[in-house]
């Protein structure tokens, strides 16, 4: 058996959580391969709404196993809050959620370092969520981090050594650390909750189970936030692309099967960084309000714009996408005109390949289409799609070169059309 990969193709918030939930019945194991608690996946079904930060989105369906892989960074305090909310809603996870021993821990001082480093940047801020993600990944690469497996052997001594090193850095910047005691209390309470779960050598576990079980690898954030291939430096701190699933779960490249790429019918971005198709007019405001484009973890309003086919073609190429999934199609139901960016004009020259950087003058080149102006949120099958929406789908497939196999028409798992 091979591992299928599901990931976002834009700047995150594409609706990955919902689609993982929809696809989960086809899989025995769902494994998260990168990211931290800054990546909120929102799911809605049976009249309830759930926001997952670190727990894989396959946790709600059947009795499948869910794994937090080695590529994930985990904050015990936030993990405890997330688990207790799920338990209160009737979802017991201790026998179905496994955690890699090689996943790195976000420490209380990582949060302080995150705030400290962001403050030093001034107007050049990245727009971090302040949850310590960046400093944790930095320390992982610098070979000084603590991992889940460290909890099992001599943890207190290891923790105090890292903490002392962090405090020395914070002192150099004269950063206020008076909140540390409160953060630590919550963190160590979370550590006790974390110990209720099984810590595993996830790379061995997954490869053994692949003999006769189907596995879905779930990504966080989006391709354009990848540390290597995204809009650097306004990116996340991990590899969000298909190759990241190999690294974040311990898989050989030939073990990868289908690659599901998710994108919105338009485009959004949170925080700082270039966004060629961003709108500052009524259309952008309508996208934000109709689509409720506010961060599921931070609550921050998302920047909105038309779909960017230059960036999408790039994302499809580096991920090896085999199937496309379009979400939030219903958000554009009321628009008279739909636009799609097919090229960039940079310093007067039209380009169709995603450039090294998007700084400076980048003007989107648009194609305009007639909107469908039809409420699609209650449609149950493809035959009900209005003609102009079908035309939009065909236009996208022709320009992207990959079939759109699933169309989402709303946040609920039932509002999903499989083509």
Give 323's pLDDT tier (boundaries 50, 70, 90).
very high
- The tens digit of pLDDT for each residue in 263-291 reads 999 999 988 899 999 999 999 999 999 99
Question: Which of 61-65, 92-96, 127-131 bottoms out in mean pLDDT, i.e. has the lowest?
Answer: 127-131
Q: Concatenated DSSP letters for 104-126?
A: EEPPHHHHHHHHHHHHHHGGG--
Q: Are 305 and 277 in contact (CB under 8 A)?
A: yes
* Amino acid 129: pLDDT: 67
* Amino acid 359: pLDDT: 73
* Amino acid 119: pLDDT: 80
- The pTM for the full model equals 0.92
Give 125's pLDDT tier (boundaries 50, 70, 90).
low
Instruction: Name which of 47, 57, 49 is nearest 8 in CA terms.
Output: 57
Give 127's pLDDT tier (boundaries 50, 70, 90).
low
Alpha helices by DSSP H, listed for 122-263, are 133-141, 155-172, 180-194, 202-209, 242-249
- The tens digit of pLDDT for each residue in 295-320 reads 766 678 999 999 999 999 999 999 99
Report in angstroms the alpha-carbon separations of 145 from 78, 108, 187.
Answer: 19, 13, 16
Point out the residues that are catalytic: 13, 41
């Amino acid at each position: 058996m091979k591992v299928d990969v599901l990931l976002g193709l834009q700047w995150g918030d594409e609706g990955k959580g919902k689609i993982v939930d929809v696809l989960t019945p086809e899989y025995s194991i769902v494994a998260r391969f990168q990211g931290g608690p800054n990546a909120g996946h929102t799911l809605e079904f049976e009249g309830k709404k759930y926001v997952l930060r670190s727990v894989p989105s396959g946790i709600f369906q059947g009795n499948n196993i869910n794994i937090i892989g080695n590529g994930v960074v985990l904050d015990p305090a936030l993990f405890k809050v997330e688990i207790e909310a799920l338990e209160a809603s009737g979802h017991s996870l201790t026998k179905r959620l496994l955690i890699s021993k090689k996943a790195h821990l976000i420490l209380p001082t990582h949060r302080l370092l995150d705030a400290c480093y962001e403050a030093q940047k001034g107007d050049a801020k990245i727009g971090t969520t302040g949850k310590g993600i960046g400093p944790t990944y930095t320390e992982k690469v610098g070979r000084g981090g603590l991992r889940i497996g460290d909890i099992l052997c001599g943890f207190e001594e290891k923790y105090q050594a890292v903490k002392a090193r962090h405090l020395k850095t914070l002192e150099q910047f004269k950063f206020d650390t008076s909140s540390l005691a409160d953060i630590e209390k919550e963190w160590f309470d979370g550590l006790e909750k974390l110990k209720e779960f099984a810590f595993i050598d996830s790379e061995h576990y997954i490869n053994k189970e692949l003999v006769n079980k189907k596995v879905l690898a779930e990504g966080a954030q989006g391709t354009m936030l990848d540390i290597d291939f995204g809009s650097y430096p306004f990116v996340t701190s991990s590899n969000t692309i298909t190759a990241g699933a190999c690294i974040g779960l311990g898989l050989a490249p030939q073990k990868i099967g289908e690659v599901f790429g998710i994108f919105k019918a338009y485009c959004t971005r949170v925080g700082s960084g270039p966004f060629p198709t961003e709108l500052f007019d009524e259309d952008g405001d309508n996208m934000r309000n109709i689509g409720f484009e506010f961060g599921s973890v931070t609550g921050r309003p998302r920047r909105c714009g038309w779909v960017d086919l230059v960036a999408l073609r790039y994302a499809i190429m580096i991920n090896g996408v085999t199937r496309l999934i379009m979400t939030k199609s219903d958000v554009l139901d009321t628009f008279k005109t739909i636009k799609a960016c097919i090229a960039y004009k940079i310093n007067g020259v039209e380009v169709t390949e995603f450039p090294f950087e998007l700084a400076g003058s980048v003007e989107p080149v648009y194609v305009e289409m007639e909107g469908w102006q039809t409420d699609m949120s209650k449609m149950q099958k493809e035959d009900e799609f209005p003609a102009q929406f079908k035309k939009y789908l065909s236009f996208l497939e022709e320009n992207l070169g990959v079939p759109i196999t699933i169309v989402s028409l709303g946040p609920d798992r039932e509002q999903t059309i499989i083509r």
